[in-house]
Amino acid sequence: MAGQPGPGQPPAAGHPGPGRPDPGSPAAPGGPAEPTDGDLLRRHVSGDAGAFGILFVRHRERLWAVAVRTLGDPDEAADALQDAMISAFRRAADFRGESAVTTWLHRIVVNACLDRLRRRAARPAASGMDEQTLDVLAHGLAAPDQDTALDVRAALRTLAPEQRAALVLVDMLGYPVADTADILGISVGTVKSRCARGRARLLPLLAHLRRGPAGPPGPGRNQPAVPRVSPPEGAGENRA
């Protein structure tokens, strides 16, 4: 698909959540207003051959970031993003405006990624990632080193696809919980509980990152603190 990010293209970081009002402010004082996302989608449905391409280019960096972080493989992410945009292109007439266009696009991309995760053969993981690594990724920085990057991908593979999608959106890409709930089509409480259970599953795999190369710490005042596990927010909400 024209305008699709290449497999090696780095995703942009620090994105706002997708549920924001569609852009439509004037590009310059007195100048013509940029078409909103809704305008572009309506023009596409009406037969405007270039409208969907403009819409995709406007949001591709955020959509690419979601795909590549969820799947952990640039080639698979590119394929999933292309599949998702073909689906959105064909299903545009079904959009009813019940959510922001960006939320709708994100939902299609996440579903395409989840389909691929469910089909992918499970691979055992030997190590994991902690919240410090998640925080680094959330701020758009590279993983501390290649070994840690491999650990990130391996650890994410241990999560159920639904937990993985929630954790990527909230912890790695910084989307608000409410926007994540809209994208995934679940309640805010379910997003929180999926993230909490995902973090709890990953943290036991992080001991080697917390301890460093010297091996397990001995007892005493120099022993590092146990890694923090976020409280299970949303406990009592819908279980996923």
27-120 to CATH, choices 3.40.50.300, 3.20.20.150, 1.10.1740.10, 3.40.50.1220: 1.10.1740.10
Predicted confidence band at 76 (pLDDT cuts at 50, 70, 90)? very high
What would the DSSP string read from start to end of 100-149? -HHHHHHHHHHHHHHHHHHHSPP---S----HHHHHHHHTTPPPSSHHHH
Kindly report each contact of residues 207-211 with a partner whose C-beta sits within 8 Å and lies 24 or more positions away, as own/partner. 208/127, 209/127, 209/128, 209/129, 209/130, 209/132, 209/133, 209/148, 209/151, 210/130
Please state, rounded to an integer, the average pLDDT across all residues of the chain.
73
The answer to which of 58-67, 132-141, 148-157, 195-204 has the lowest mean pLDDT is: 132-141
Please write the tens of the pLDDT for every residue from 181-222: 999 999 999 999 999 998 888 777 655 555 554 444 444 333
Q: What is the pTM of this model?
A: 0.64
DSSP-assigned letter for residue 7 = T
Is domain 124-211 annotated with CATH 1.10.10.10?
yes
Three-state DSSP class for residue 37: helix
What is the C-alpha separation between 16 and 108, in angstroms, rounded?
18
Query: What average pLDDT does this structure show over 70-87?
Result: 94
Pick from 56, 42, 63, 75: nearest CA to 106: 63
Check pLDDT > 60 for residue 48: yes
**pLDDT tens digits, one per residue of 3-13:** 444 443 333 33
| Sequence spans of domains, the chain | 27-120, 124-211
What is the pLDDT, as a whole number, of residue 204?
76
Hunting for tokens 């596990």 — which residue is that?
229
